[in-house]
Amino acid sequence: MEEQQFQQNRNNSIDLEEDLDKILQFLAREQPLQSCNPAMTTIEASQHYMMSSGCLWSLPRDLPPPPLFSKSSSPALPSSAHAVSALRGEFLEPIVSDLSATSRTEDLHQQEMYLDYPRSTVTFQQMLHSAENERELLSHFPQMEESDHANQVEFISASARFNSPGISLAADLFHRENSQNGAGSGSLLTSIFSEFHPEIGSAIVSPTTNSSFSSSVTDEAHVDEECSHIMASAGATGNTVAVGSKRKATAMASTEDFTNTTNENKSQEDLTNTTHEKKSKPAAKKGKKRIREPRYAIQTRSDKDILEDGYKWRKYGQKAVKNSPHPRSYYRCTYAKCLVKKMVERSSKDPGLVVTTYEGVHIHPSPAAVRNSIDTQLISRSMYSYFPSPVKMFNAPRSNLELAAHMIKGQQHHIPQLDRGLLEDILPSGIRM
DNA sequence: CGTGTTTGACCAGCGC
DNA sequence: GCGCTGGTCAAACACG
């Protein structure tokens, strides 16, 4: 029974083992990624590609994010969106259930980007029995095959509303599309490793950059007011929500701080400052204007206040939030010298929503990722081992999307074994058949 | 005893 | 300058 469904699902999805290379080439051609974190494990990398190529979270360090998921933008990359949905269907949907998120992110250029990211509530089980829903869904989007990106946005959104997996449908679309296009020439992996590991990557594929970013993304995309409010308050003492030219100016400083000196310098500073004399801080610190790390919020629906995101946190404060019955909790990463912080609070308007605001960049892989990497290495030739076995490079930038992936991954308790027993591993015991 | 949480005090930034 | 507010500190406490 399970084996049957497993096969059925496989048939309805991209076979990553066979197709991933093609997919990545496809994505590289369509939407080259400018950043990738070499500290990622293979799993993280997979999710990175999956999510970033969906342009939901991709925040390249050196380039503004492409204007995807903005209805005002010219139709762009519908095919990669399909491909990504396919990947997402393969990687995430079986794992994630009942997770909806309206996500707001900011790139290092401080251009705000609001993303309506209604994670579908599709479970793996539902995905297996969704043909009817898909047909119904399709009937509402007769133009889906016209490569209209706005349609894709609507489609995914509607997928959630219909409680139907547009994901596997998108996989089919991608299959058709990809079979027509054939494999591309650029390898995303090659370019990535050329950048971070020249000894691995050979020829650098110079991808064309998408420079058509429009700052009007915010206006067009759906903005969750609550999240916006929280982010605004979160950045009240920093620059993160500044608008206009001032934002531009401060963005550069922020970027520099972020990429170069942040962690070590600040940790030293913190160590010396916090040992004694809380009341009279050293003049050096007093005179310095605090530079905030970039922040970004992830909004999820959950009963639990604390969502597992793969890292260990220590709570260091809690404050009552103005006009909200729910307090805000402050957490700090417990890893030595890692200065990443996060704030967690519930939406005042919708108590079911948990808004987690992250600040900073981890200087270490997540404990969960380390654990997973052990499993990863054991799964030869599985889709998780497509990428070279976990490559670590500390201090590499960690993307926002990766944290989102972590958060989503947190819904699973352990790494699924792909080679066999997929269902047993990825389905919560409650919905197994 | 080590680790993590609670909680009141304190500080810095901002707006008026 | 002053008050408000978000953010942080660190002693006290809880827990395994």
CB contact set of A135 (below 8 Å; sequence gap of 6+): none
Question: Does at least one atom of strand C sit less than 7 Å from the CB of A321?
Answer: yes
The whole-number Å distance from A280's CA to C10's C1' is 15
Alpha helices in A240-329 (DSSP H): 245-259, 262-274, 283-287
- At A227 the pLDDT is 45
| pLDDT tens-place string over residues A4-58 | 544 444 443 333 334 445 544 544 444 433 333 333 333 333 334 444 433 222 2
CA–CA distances in Å: residue A184 to residues A26, A27, A58, A148, A264: 6, 9, 22, 22, 42
Mean pLDDT to the nearest integer, A359-388: 42
Give the integer Cα–Cα distance in Å for A221 and A402.
22
The closest nt to A236, taking CA to C1', is C6
CB contact set of A292 (below 8 Å; sequence gap of 6+): A235, A237, A238, A239, A240, A254, A359
| pLDDT tens-place string over residues A301-355 | 566 676 666 678 899 999 988 888 888 999 998 887 788 888 888 877 777 777 7
CB contact set of A133 (below 8 Å; sequence gap of 6+): A162, A163, A164, A165
Asked whether A373 and A409 are in contact (CB, 8 A), the reply is: no
The closest nt to A317, taking CA to C1', is C8
Question: Does at least one atom of strand C sit less than 7 Å from the CB of A62?
Answer: no
Reduced to 3 states (helix: H, G, I; strand: E, B; else coil), residue A222 is coil
Give the integer Cα–Cα distance in Å for A75 and A149.
5
Question: Does at least one atom of strand C sit less than 7 Å from the CB of A272?
Answer: no
Protein CB footprint (7 Å) on chain C nucleotides: 5-10
For chain A, the average pLDDT equals 40
The whole-number Å distance from A275's CA to C10's C1' is 10
Provide the whole-model pTM.
0.40
| pLDDT tens-place string over residues A114-123 | 222 222 222 2
**Strand B close residues, chain A 284-303, CB < 7 angstroms:** 285-286, 288-290
- Identify the CA nearest to A296 among candidates A246, A258, A253: A258
- Identify the CA nearest to A403 among candidates A316, A302, A333, A315: A333
| pLDDT tens-place string over residues A217-257 | 222 233 344 444 544 444 433 332 222 223 233 333 333 33
The whole-number Å distance from A288's CA to C3's C1' is 23
- Say yes or no to pLDDT of A95 above 60: no
Q: Which amino acid is at A245?
A: S
